[in-house]
Amino acid sequence: MNASPIGVFDSGLGGLTAVKELRKILPGEDIVYFGDTGRVPYGSRGKETIVHYAKQDIAFLLSKGVKSILIACGTVSSTLPPAVMQGLPVPCAGVVGATVAAAAAATQNGKVGVIGTEATIRSGSYEAAMKQLAPNVTCFAAACPLFVPLVENGHFLKGDRVAIPVAEEYLAPIKAAGVDTLIMGCTHYPLLADVIAEEMGSGVTLVDAGLQAAQQTKQSLANLGLLNGRQTGGQVAYYVSDVPARFNQLAQTFLGEYAGGAIEQINIEDYNL
């Protein structure tokens, strides 16, 4: 048993979608969340910058004594070299492995779509992981750079007239490829699930990266004997790198039931691996 908190980080507040899932399945665990709100977005940046930022984010969480790290950000999960994750003093996993496993199990026709930020799609991470796990499954990937700002500006509900034409444009090639499963490989996309589902049609299974990664975190903490054994009462401490002003509004969007919890601004430049 280990009473230390679980660390979760993201380029911004989108990773709260993973926190929401973790809270549902591990309500007794404490969580430390870091959102790099001062430097978001990561998804349009180059590899070196993303790796540098991610190492600082990890160093901050380690300074808080976390027992494991969940990289909720699809962009970081796709870009950070596995050697960095494996070299940490605590178990650390991103969203790619768990998500690909779920998609491989879900597909019937061996055609899986992958959507994410530009950096995620450029990395080819999902295709590479699928090749390893299920070589007979073919991935069809598309970057959807406008999805993040759409969500952050409230354009994500079913029938949204701004989101629908954007989704049509981005998803057309994947739809034409005949996928029966679609990986939503970015923190923000679960909020657009209704719009995406409408566009893809009812026969397509959507795989939520945050949900899969949360379930994998629970499983691996259990396997390692690192759960704290409590069934209720877990607390979340939130840290951000920009002023916390927009936190309340966006946290509501991503967490659903943001019930409060301390929010603190930190200087992320003070941390490095």
Residue nearest to ligand DGL (CB): 43
CA angle 51, 8, 14 (to 5 degrees): 80
Distance CA 213, CA 255 (A): 16
Q: Which is nearer to ligand DGL, 5 or 41 (CB)?
A: 41
Residues 224 and 91: beta-carbon distance below 8 Å: yes
Told to judge if 73 belongs to the known catalytic residues of this protein, a careful annotator would answer yes
Least Cβ distance, residue 92 to ligand DGL (angstroms): 16
Q: What is the dihedral of CA 79, 85, 88, 90, to 10 degrees?
A: 120
| Helix, strand, coil share (%) of the chain residues, nearest 5 | 45, 15, 40
Q: Which is nearer to ligand DGL, 50 or 90 (CB)?
A: 50
Least Cβ distance, residue 269 to ligand DGL (angstroms): 18
Distance CA 54, CA 82 (A): 12
Q: Which residue has the tokens 């998803």?
A: 171
Residues 266 and 53: beta-carbon distance below 8 Å: no
Q: Which is nearer to ligand DGL, 50 or 104 (CB)?
A: 50
Q: Which is nearer to ligand DGL, 10 or 29 (CB)?
A: 10
Least Cβ distance, residue 218 to ligand DGL (angstroms): 20
Query: Site residues (CB under 6 A) for ligand DGL?
Result: 10-12, 14, 40-43, 73-75, 116-117, 120, 148, 186-188
Q: What is the dihedral of CA 92, 95, 101, 102, to 10 degrees?
A: 130
Among the options 73, 92, 139, 144, which is catalytic? 73
Least Cβ distance, residue 101 to ligand DGL (angstroms): 18
**Active site (catalytic) residues:** 73, 186
